A and B are shown apart, each in its own frame.
Chain A
Amino acid sequence: MDLRTEVLIIGGGATGAGIARDLALRGIPSLLVEKGDFTSGASGRNQGLLHSGARYAVNDPDAARECIAENRILRQIAPHCIEPTDGLFVSLPEDGSEYRANFIRACGNAGIDALPLSAREALSLEPRLNPRLIGAVRVPDGAIDPFMLVVENVRDAESRGARFLIHTEVTGLIREGPRIAGAHVRDRITGQSYAVAANWVVNATGAWANLILAMAGLQIGLALSKGSMLLTNTRLSERVLNRCRPPSSGDIIVPNDTVSILGTTSVREEDLERYEVTAEEVTFLVDELSKMVPDVKGERFNRAYAGVRPLLRSAETSDDRDISRGFSLIDHEQETGLAGLVTITGGKLMTYRLMAEKTVDFLCSRMGLHVPCITHRQPLPGAGLGNTLKDRLLHLRRQTPASRGEILCDCELVPREAVDAILREGKVRELQDILHRTRLAKGTCQGGFCVYRLLGLLNELHGEREKGGSNVILRGFLEERWKGIRPILWGTALKEEELIESIYKGLFNLAPGGPEQTERVNE
């Protein structure tokens, strides 16, 4: 079943999905392949921060201006993916007032609203701040839901003819003379391999860019930087809280729906398949951020996770092919004579739309098309729909217990119907896909209870009576969950882990290696 398209996009993160949508809006056919689910890479493993740009104002004014421009655009086109919380840059005595003054000035220069607040004003807005603070500055930061943002881009592109294949990995590039003319791909679930022929291939794989380029014997200068984050069990603040000091590790707390995200660290990483959050990083984040919000010390964490940022090495960023600092669009024809392949990497979630715009502008110019980009003014399809916690609770309240149906996840009030609807759509292919698309397993127990309740549905997903079936999936889920849980096991989280272990290893006797014993011996 070989396929053919105009533009083959590799990578289902924000950049890839943004490119697919931009192409679709300009009438250019595309097909996107992603080896996992959407946002499996850095797009799904970040702080969910809608940058105001203030963080960059002092050190990198260009990035700051880029951020505030995209910030304003995203508020217009994706309001349902954003919680406009605002942010505070908090000065503790050790941060001094000199940086604060520079910061306010630099924000002004970059066009970012920055309102100085006294310590008292800041405390009245955010009572859990360290009372020793000397002042704060209010900026238009916010919280953004990256998964919804990506899915909305996908949904819009799909409705305009773009095609998407998840769990499909590129195994090789197709070369026709001096051109790349598509890719060989493999469905990771069925194992089926086939070819996708394309006039253009866009490598939008972020930190994985060199893995794709190696298939064409190419390489770019990328440094991989792991950033680790902690997810709290409660929401610590109404606003994004930043330390008002030069950018450093452990300087931000981003509210995210009912929880908060503490970030981040920055550690060079080599192995993209095996990176993990270390106990040292966790201790550092807790110690450092408790200086800004003392309650961090006693907080219960739900999970730790890490993402890998693709950072362009400085030698590359001075290159004149760069569209802007921070991200880079590389036309490999100019560099090596190999046509038909471009790489877009670096950058950040905030600039995904701009990265897509520049990529598609480039492709259009090479195709000889003159169609302007409209993604900066064309709202995503769900814009205008309420999606806040308040909206969800109101929705629940309007329902009677009978019409609400069975609640699968008690932590996050996910009804069975929501999961059934996703299954009916027929696009999800494994358990993690369902978890991505709902709030299942996002709460306090991190799926400890609701995943058992999903087993019946999983039997449907994986075809009935498959050998080993749902318990193999269950074991896989518990191992995946463990990666996020293990770094935060102390206090209350550790208590609950005793409960979960007692259920799955004790009560259900799930064995380390599996498959489980389901028949008696010596009968």
Chain B
Amino acid sequence: MKHFDLIVIGTGLAGLTAARTAAEAGARVLIAGRGMGALTLFGNTIDLLGEIPPETDIEEGILRWIGAHPEHPYARTGMEGIETALSEFQRLFPPPYSFAAEGRRNALFPTGAGTMRPSYLIPVTMAAGAAMTPGETLIVGFRGFKDFQGDTVSLHLKCRGMNIALPRYGLEGMTALALARLMDEASFRERLGETIRRQMGGERFIGLPAVLGLRNPAAVLKTLENTTGARVFEIPMLPPSIPGTRVFHRFREELIAKNVTVLMGHPVTGATVRDQRCEGIAVQNPPLTAEYRADQYILATGRFLGGGLSAGMDRIVEPLFQIPVFQPGQREAWFGKRFFDPEAHPIHHAGIATDADLRPVDGTGNVVLENVRAAGSILAHHQAIEEKSREGIDIATGFLAATRALAS
């Protein structure tokens, strides 16, 4: 049986980052997971900490945040850890499809609900969204594409809006993925650009749903900008996320190029633990279940949606290793009385508490597994949804977990 230096459990952004970090360092790595993670649902831009107002320098804001939240995952990685991890991420996306920040600050970008949303690293296909001005922007939707309500976006952003009919395509197939694949066809995007150009009224910006191609989004952007003469930007919308899917594909391509053993769509169903060390994991590949072993393991299985945490009627558990989970009280206390409570719902505090090395600890601070580290949203004491830190936590802790795992 092949023995690995590191096994990463979970194929979301945290797991992908950890596997890539270790592979870059020359380690023999296996990554296994059952899905594609929150990345392909919501991963449009790279949030670091949306809580920090756009006028504040990001480093200053993070340092202040860490000071006020000593248990937050960012307190484990530190600002330096975040910076290194983010620049490694950016290195994976060289131009033309690159990610960049608007200075060292958060910037606001339009969303599919017509709201503005803060984020940090932005793919080149969304960058113009930060510069758009209402009077000079046209919002373009597709008739029958229900996951992007262009009228709502234009109404709220006080822009002009229009819905384009795509005669060749029935409503049944009008999904984000189908549209993105169409955009990858040069003839389709040229005709689309031409259609938009004919209906423009002097606008300088054009906002479209975030479906501008899977394989070559920069080329789609270029075609549309050249034909219309305007700056074009993508607007994040209901899941699935095409921009997130691009990131996923890029990572997978890189991992395979770096000889990582990639088991996508294979749930990890069991772990063997002896003397506080993981000795192997069972990966389901129906009808077989295979066992894999490594010196070190990283658990990056996400929260409830990803299956990293599981809530019964009485308590919250970590189903794979039965690692102690920080409990946010009894079930009736998990959620606030209102959906939009001013405070995040207490359940978001739940998760795995760790030492400085990201090794899981129990309620008294003792390490429970010597060679397992936790990374990503499964960690306790963050409110990724409210504070808008999901991708930042994934990247920074995935990077840190891999670095520490290899160092031990």
Contacts and interface: CB of A to CB of B under 8 A. Distances in A.
Interface in A475-508: 475, 478-479, 481-482, 486, 489-491, 494-496, 498-499, 501-508
Contacts of B152: 455-456, 459, 470-471
A76 interface: no
Given A470-B155, A499-B239, A506 B338 contact: no
Interface residues of B, number: 60
Contacts of B388: 506, 509
A110 B339 CA distance: 48
A275 B247 CA distance: 46
Contacts of B345: 501
Contacts of B347: 494
Interface stretch (A60-68, A126-134, A353-361, A514-522): A514-522
A286 B313 CA distance: 10
Interface in B298-323: 303-305, 310-313
A122 interface: no
A217 interface: no
A279 interface: yes
B341 A512 contact: yes
Given A401-B171, A459-B155, A518-B158, A499 B331 contact: no
A408 B238 CA distance: 13
Contact of A453 (B38, B111, B115, B149): B149
B113 A516 contact: yes
Q: Is the interface on chain A under 10, 10 to 19, 20 to 34, or 35 or more residues?
A: 35 or more
Contacts of B363: none
A520 B108 contact: yes
B205 to A, nearest CB: 13
B168 to A, nearest CB: 13
Contacts of A195: none
A290 to B, nearest CB: 11
A482 B334 CA distance: 13
Contacts of B72: none
Per DSSP, chain A at the interface is helix
Nearest to A470: B152
B115 A502 contact: no
A490 B313 contact: yes
B127 interface: no
A489 B335 contact: yes
B144 interface: yes
Contacts of B341: 512
A279 B334 CA distance: 11
Most buried by B among A405, A499, A513: A499
Interface of A: 278-280, 283, 286, 401-402, 405-406, 408, 416, 449, 452-453, 455-456, 459, 464-465, 469-471, 474-475, 478-479, 481-482, 486, 489-491, 494-496, 498-499, 501-514, 516-523
14 contacts: A401-B170, A402-B170, A452-B238, A459-B155, A475-B340, A479-B339, A490-B312, A491-B311, A502-B38, A506-B388, A507-B117, A509-B50, A518-B114, A519-B116
Per CB-CB distance, the 8 closest pairs between chain A and chain B, nearest first, are A279-B332, A482-B339, A508-B113, A509-B117, A512-B340, A453-B146, A516-B115, A506-B385
